[in-house]
Structure 1
Amino acid sequence: MKASPDEFEIDVLRQPPPSPRHFAPQSGQSSPRELARPIRPIATVQPDSASTATGITSSQWGSSTNTLTGNSMHQYHQPVQPYSFDPRAESPSPGFVYGGGESGRTTPLGHSNRNSYINQSQHSFSASHTNLLSRPASPVLAQAPVKGDSGIARLHERDDSDFWKGWRRKVYYAIPVLTILNAILYVIYLTLRITCVVYAQNAANEVYYQAWVFIAIEFCVAIPPLMHNMWTMMAIKNRGRPKLRLVGQEVPTVDVFITCCGEDDDVVMDTVIAACNQDYPRDRFRVLLLDDGKSASLEKAMGAIAHTYPNTFYVARPKFPGVPHHFKAGNLNYALDHVHTLPGGAGFYMAALDADMIPESCWLRALLPHLLRDEKVAMACPPQLFYNTPRGDPLAQSLDFFVHVIEPIKDAMGVAWCTGSGYIVRRDALDEIGNFPLGSLAEDVATSTHLLGRGWKTAYVHEPLQFGTVPEDFGGHLKQRTRWAIGTVDTSFKLNFSLWGDKVRDMSVAQRFSGFLYATLNLYTIMLSVSLFAIPIILAMGKPLVAYSTDNQLRWLIRACFASLMANRLCELVLSMPAGYRTGRRGARYEMWMSPYIALCIIRAFILPAWLGGEAQAFKPTGSLDSALHERDPQNRKGLARRMWAILVNYWSIYHLLFVYFTLVAATVASYRCVSISETLREKLLCLLTHAFWPPLTFIFICSSLWTPISYAIDPPSVPSREQLLVRDPKTGVAHPTPASKKIAFGGEDLWYEFEYTITTVFTCLVFVLSFLF
């Protein structure tokens, strides 16, 4: 039956038991997908109804099968020390295959060692509900009309039901019409601009170089946004991804990896403890802290919780001088090999969390159904959400527009990217692509792209399942975002922009276009940074931004400009509805002021030779910062002079300051010339209109956007301490963000930018009306 928003439905997946076959990989007989998957036992077990409900047989999850008799019995032994190592675990069991891959092992899919963590007695497991390892059943699932022990509960027909609903969803379906209308009106406006320049040149018998330069740059800058807008037309495509929960005790085994390297201990341990307190059978998952910083205090903290959470492990890989360790990707790959040495071997699935990402208790049960429903889905990813975003989000640090607008569209087209944290992936899918790709600053994007290139699917689950922290300082934000941009472009270069090559051979047209588009958008920052100078340079030269030969041509230019602007702003308003209107506005400003940083890092990474300063790395400040600015801590932040020096000089925002100063001076000089040289009032107004005040007053938007780093240095936002943003369970110590901290509060910057946006829109409307009167 179909679930209404207020009802639950059980969508029990019925799959036939696996056929009694034994993969015997021989030359020319097995497909690459089969060779990537481990050998299963010859003998099979007739599954019971509960295990079949999830598509998981008892021979696969948490039970031992006698391969000679085919008898099955549940094994959940040793509740006190379920993770203690047994020497017998070193011997290969029928479910393991050794050989192939860098580690010499492939992922076990069929058998578990008797003394492993995934083999606890059902009786002992039930008895253990009295200790700290167990909690009451999820109150949400308790309300679902679940019959039987296992299955997949359909809680809602849409996975984004927590984010937005009602009339806005209906208006959102107008996106394709608005996008096409916006593109058509912009092309008409640009065509009219070109036509008027040609007529003006013929009338004056001279070439208007500045007008052509302005048009050319405007056209180049417009191409990527137009391509992106055409992509967003797919917002109307139904994703068809429901809100699901995996129920029962017959669930897959999962290795949860938490990567860290130098983060504060309390931040890391909050993530570890929240991961340990999943609403998931304790004998079916384990939590590994992958510490690349080899912190003695973290190792001690992990040892202290081992008695309460015996499914936890501390892992610090060895690093050797002169041997590349490949940062996060290398850390994850080491753990993928390491789990084979643990009792029971590797889990069937691997999940990953960043050190600061606190998962919700339903995290595993919410993501796994999307993998179980379709064996071709290799990875399921939730959005990255944050709980320490400053009021007004002046640096646009939240990813709201991406996670609420762009990723759902990409998911509908089968191009969901790995979001970097909180995802779950099939181990056999990772085996097929050789684990996490090395040599990239964005291993998440590279991994999902490689999976898509080998014919796997990725899923974006639009639920609030994890909350983390944004960088708490300006420099950290720059480093994070430039690293993402370089990593995305680097992956695109290695994969030929997803257009051709063996590694993308199984990609669809939409997947290839998406890979090309988002790499192009990062490269586009170079052209955008150059184009920003067009307006101030032309104004400083005393030249008009637009050219025309007759008053009638000017009238139609004004009307076309008005129509294009109104269509664009209406399209922006509707498109940003899932994330919020103010989020869309922050994103537009962010694109402006951040483009010089991204452009510079891309030029250094991919264009400049080493002897000219070329280096593939994220942004790093110049000079020496003797101490952190603590700009968001009202008690410990550095003084105004120290903040201004660091952000203007060390973080190169002097560029933004000089640009704003130059633009305002150029607009003032151009306006003074119009007023002083022109004789009549009509001539003065026309001169002002065609020079600095051509609607929609673009120079004002550019200046206010590039002023962002300076305003941040002058008046940084204050953020409460992390503990004040959390609610901590006094019994278990599990911390989760407060409801208020999950939302971005309205700030003074929002008010100012809304005022600016309104004024420029009203000005454009006024000029449009006057075009009919004069």
Structure 2
Amino acid sequence: MAADQIYDIRELPEEPRIPSGQKYRNCLVYVAHLAIWIGNIYVAFRLLAILLSPQTWQMWAMFLVEGVFIHLSRKDQHLVIAASKVRENGPRKKLRVHGTKDLPRVDVLLPCCGEDVDVIIATVRAACALDYPISCCRVLVLDDGGSAALKEAVSELQSQWSHVSYHSRGRQSGMVFAKSGNLNYALTTLQRENPPEFCAILDADSVPGPDFLRATLPHLLQSPDAALVSTRQYFSNLPNGDPLSQTRSHFYTCQNAALDVLGLAIDAGSGAVFRRKAIVEVGLYPTFSFSEDWQLSQILHGMGWRTFQVQEPLQFGLVPDSLTGHCAQRNRWNIGHAQQIPAMLSSDYKHYKKSLRWSIIWDGFGIVAGEVECFFGFLAVPLLFLSGQLIPTAHPSLVKAQILMAVCQVSVLWIYEYLQVAHNDFQSAPFAHLENKWLAGSNVLAILRFYLVSAKPKGSSFVTGSVLNSWNQQALSACRKAYLDLWKNGVFYNLSLLLATVWAVSFTITSLMASYEDWTITSLMTGVAFPPLLHICYLTLMVNWVPVAYILKPPHFPKHPSHLTAEGRRSVSRVETKRGLASESRWPAVDKVGKEILHLGTRLEIQERPEL
């Protein structure tokens, strides 16, 4: 019998912002095709022009930098085209499974390791209060921090919620691959005798909304070949404007939304619900990387399983509230991607298909290469402004053709970016695929340090929210904070690059003005005013200004989200005796924020955001 005949699954009305963005879809696809074709022709023509002319290092440098930034835009363009070829390629429907009887059994797994006990308990309470029958649900707190205080706090909750329990493998804080090992411990040891059909994962700070399970399970129940559904991550302590792009709105609304249409969505870690059978079948969570959620997705795809993404605001986490914490989180993610390469080349994973192993290798290589490309691409901009002629000028006809094609190439790229922004209802900004690329140098350095110096954290933990980390323990003096931000977090490089770029532009313009009688439109267009150079200069200034602006005007992070206050905890504790469908009165704080996020569309330009 079909799954939709067994379970009462209903479709909810779609959000108004979805059709408003979808009207740009066909145009976006056409422009994506156009951008790829023009880019290919342009690169080939530029290469031919260089080879047919006397060559200089400036010409080759400009050509390579152009190629880097054209390549960085290709991922989104190819995803848009691939998603357009799927017959049912509209946004994922908003579903709910109704009823209280004969629902599938679910274990909610809460891996934690050294986070603040109040933060963990807030998540545990919310997980216990989910709108789902207790007879079909267990909440397993998986503590790799070995915290006696957490164990006692969970024990106190058991008098109110009998389906919650505490488990620990002992103190694992700071150990490599602790989270994946912790989850595998639950999937094997804890579930050996009574395995559920589905499992949900919540990070220690990711408070789920009441409808979390009812909104995610239908997508798995309706698709037997689907292994996992990931949910977009929302945050309750996000500062106004999201200055560090911590919501990763471009990833969720553009890249992962397209992958969702293809059934290839990437698991974002917290807020995932998966079919236990599928995870066990592929060998449990991979333990060769810090980015176990990303690699699990790739392994599932390589073994024929589909994965989805739900855009609804179903969980509310905490972003790192310091620049050091943010940088450490991003460094760890990139180290995890770098770990894919040697792992798949080793003999330990020969049981994977060769095609799967090479797919994971190329994915890791592509991500690391993107960081290297951005680092050197931005660094080259001031040198290019000072270098004089950037394209061959031996043949006048080739000069005009190169300039004309350069204008076309840059123009279609900007048109594509604005169409993509309109397509996702302005939830991200143009060229948002470069968000956090100001960290490119820091990420590359972190990878090199991990492999060449030490693979163990010193005086801290790989878990960003752990209280072992200095940025979570104490307020820093102004001098110490300035040292960490400018030197350890690499903002000194971004500031230096900004100043060097502005100086190079100013110096070049001043020199041109001094020799006004000698320059022509052609000399300008082949040098300082070459359209791709102006475009890349804009990207360099835009990206590298982000951390400098953060230091000059530190944002305000809400310190006491309501789900951590005494009143907030009491509101979560008010659970109805008879469990029906979710009601707003049961969890007013989360319902209020969830509605507001849906209304505003998680735009980066949010002016007011109530504390959760």
- The answer on 1:548 being equivalent to 2:388 is no
Corresponding residue to 2:553 among 697, 715, 731: 715
Distance (whole Å) between structure 1 residues aligned to residue 606 and residue 272 of structure 2? 35
Deviations 1:319-343 (A, max 9, x none): 589x9673101111222234247xx
Partner residue of 1:679?
517
Mapping for residues 590-669 of structure 1, pairs under 5 Å: 590-605=435-450, 610=452, 613=453, 615=455, 641-669=479-507
Partner residue of 2:244?
395
Determine if contact 2:236/2:561 at 8 Å carries over to the other structure. Answer: no
Mapping for residues 327-406 of structure 1, pairs under 5 Å: 327-340=178-191, 345-406=194-255
- The answer on 1:281 being equivalent to 2:119 is no
Deviates more, 1:715-724 or 1:305-314: 715-724
Determine if contact 1:348/1:427 at 8 Å carries over to the other structure. Answer: yes
Partner residue of 2:25?
172
Determine if contact 2:230/2:271 at 8 Å carries over to the other structure. Answer: yes
Distance (whole Å) between structure 2 residues aligned to residue 309 and residue 532 of structure 1? 54
Distance (whole Å) between structure 1 residues aligned to residue 418 and residue 64 of structure 2? 28
Mapping for residues 147-226 of structure 1, pairs under 5 Å: 151-156=7-12, 161-162=14-15, 164-197=17-50, 201=53, 206-226=54-74
Deviation at 1:462, TM superposition (A): 3.3
Instruction: Flag the 1:684–1:546 CA change in 2: closer, same or farther, 3 A.
Output: same
Tell me the amino acid that sits aligned with residue 401 of structure 1.
Answer: H
Q: Report the structure, 1 or 2, having the larger helix content.
A: 2
Corresponding residue to 2:373 among 527, 532, 548: 527
Partner residue of 1:23?
none
Deviation at 1:550, TM superposition (A): 6.2
Higher relative contact order (CA 8 A, sep 6+): 2
SS of the residue corresponding to residue 336 of structure 1 reads helix
Distance (whole Å) between structure 1 residues aligned to residue 254 and residue 330 of structure 2? 19
Deviations 1:258-278 (A, max 9, x none): 111222222212211111111
Mapping for residues 464-479 of structure 1, pairs under 5 Å: 464-479=313-328
- The answer on 1:314 being equivalent to 2:166 is yes
Mapping for residues 570-581 of structure 1, pairs under 5 Å: 570-577=415-422, 579-581=424-426
SS of the residue corresponding to residue 415 of structure 1 reads coil
Deviation at 1:603, TM superposition (A): 3.9
Distance (whole Å) between structure 2 residues aligned to residue 639 and residue 324 of structure 1? 30
Instruction: Flag the 1:640–1:495 CA change in 2: closer, same or farther, 3 A.
Output: same
Deviations 1:606-635 (A, max 9, x none): 6xxx3xx374879999xxxx996799xxxx
Distance (whole Å) between structure 1 residues aligned to residue 143 and residue 57 of structure 2? 59
Determine if contact 2:58/2:390 at 8 Å carries over to the other structure. Answer: yes
Determine if contact 1:254/1:284 at 8 Å carries over to the other structure. Answer: yes
Deviation at 1:501, TM superposition (A): 6.3
Distance (whole Å) between structure 2 residues aligned to residue 266 and residue 163 of structure 1? 37
Distance (whole Å) between structure 2 residues aligned to residue 454 and residue 191 of structure 1? 37
Tell me the amino acid that sits aligned with residue 691 of structure 1.
Answer: G
- The answer on 1:728 being equivalent to 2:573 is no
SS of the residue corresponding to residue 313 of structure 1 reads strand
- The answer on 1:482 being equivalent to 2:328 is no
Tell me the amino acid that sits aligned with residue 386 of structure 1.
Answer: F
Tell me the amino acid that sits aligned with residue 264 of structure 1.
Answer: D
Tell me the amino acid that sits aligned with residue 646 of structure 1.
Answer: L
Determine if contact 2:331/2:442 at 8 Å carries over to the other structure. Answer: yes
Determine if contact 1:671/1:688 at 8 Å carries over to the other structure. Answer: no
Tell me the amino acid that sits aligned with residue 537 of structure 1.
Answer: L
Instruction: Flag the 1:319–1:469 CA change in 2: closer, same or farther, 3 A.
Output: closer
Tell me the amino acid that sits aligned with residue 481 of structure 1.
Answer: R
TM-score (norm 1): 0.67
SS of the residue corresponding to residue 352 of structure 2 reads helix
Determine if contact 2:59/2:391 at 8 Å carries over to the other structure. Answer: yes
Determine if contact 1:529/1:595 at 8 Å carries over to the other structure. Answer: yes
Deviations 1:565-602 (A, max 9, x none): 22111211222335454623472452531221222233
Instruction: Flag the 1:588–1:675 CA change in 2: closer, same or farther, 3 A.
Output: farther
Deviation at 1:514, TM superposition (A): 8.8
Determine if contact 1:252/1:284 at 8 Å carries over to the other structure. Answer: yes
Tell me the amino acid that sits aligned with residue 694 of structure 1.
Answer: F
Aligned length: 574
Instruction: Flag the 1:281–1:697 CA change in 2: closer, same or farther, 3 A.
Output: closer
TM-score (norm 2): 0.83
Partner residue of 2:303?
454
Instruction: Flag the 1:700–1:416 CA change in 2: closer, same or farther, 3 A.
Output: closer
Distance (whole Å) between structure 1 residues aligned to residue 459 and residue 497 of structure 2? 20
Instruction: Flag the 1:627–1:251 CA change in 2: closer, same or farther, 3 A.
Output: closer
Instruction: Flag the 1:649–1:324 CA change in 2: closer, same or farther, 3 A.
Output: closer
Determine if contact 1:442/1:487 at 8 Å carries over to the other structure. Answer: yes
Distance (whole Å) between structure 1 residues aligned to residue 305 and residue 511 of structure 2? 63
Mapping for residues 207-246 of structure 1, pairs under 5 Å: 207-236=55-84, 237=86, 238-239=88-89, 241-246=92-97
Deviation at 1:413, TM superposition (A): 2.0
Distance (whole Å) between structure 1 residues aligned to residue 359 and residue 175 of structure 2? 33
Percent of residue pairs bearing the same amino acid type: 25
Distance (whole Å) between structure 1 residues aligned to residue 337 and residue 180 of structure 2? 15
Segments of structure 1 that go 5 or more residues without pairing to the other structure are 1-12, 16-51, 55-150, 750-774
Partner residue of 1:128?
none
Distance (whole Å) between structure 1 residues aligned to residue 249 and residue 456 of structure 2? 28
Which of these two proteins has the greater Rg computed from alpha carbons?
1
Instruction: Flag the 1:300–1:488 CA change in 2: closer, same or farther, 3 A.
Output: same
Distance (whole Å) between structure 2 residues aligned to residue 703 and residue 267 of structure 1? 38
Corresponding residue to 1:569 among 414, 421, 431: 414
Deviations 1:523-559 (A, max 9, x none): 221122122232322333x422334246665544443
Tell me the amino acid that sits aligned with residue 220 of structure 2.
Answer: L
Distance (whole Å) between structure 1 residues aligned to residue 104 and residue 553 of structure 2? 50
Instruction: Flag the 1:382–1:604 CA change in 2: closer, same or farther, 3 A.
Output: same
Instruction: Flag the 1:738–1:263 CA change in 2: closer, same or farther, 3 A.
Output: farther
Deviation at 1:650, TM superposition (A): 2.3
Tell me the amino acid that sits aligned with residue 93 of structure 2.
Answer: P
Determine if contact 1:175/1:235 at 8 Å carries over to the other structure. Answer: no
Instruction: Flag the 1:546–1:637 CA change in 2: closer, same or farther, 3 A.
Output: farther
Distance (whole Å) between structure 2 residues aligned to residue 600 and residue 383 of structure 1? 29
Cα-Cα RMSD: 3.7
Deviations 1:218-245 (A, max 9, x none): 2245335325422321232334643322
Determine if contact 2:145/2:172 at 8 Å carries over to the other structure. Answer: no
Distance (whole Å) between structure 1 residues aligned to residue 355 and residue 526 of structure 2? 52
Mapping for residues 725-764 of structure 1, pairs under 5 Å: 728=568, 730-733=570-573, 736=590, 738-739=592-593, 742=597, 744=602
Deviates more, 1:245-254 or 1:428-437: 428-437
Determine if contact 1:164/1:578 at 8 Å carries over to the other structure. Answer: no
Segments of structure 2 that go 5 or more residues without pairing to the other structure are 462-467, 574-586, 608-612
Deviations 1:254-302 (A, max 9, x none): 1111111222222212211111111111111111111222222222221
Instruction: Flag the 1:597–1:310 CA change in 2: closer, same or farther, 3 A.
Output: same
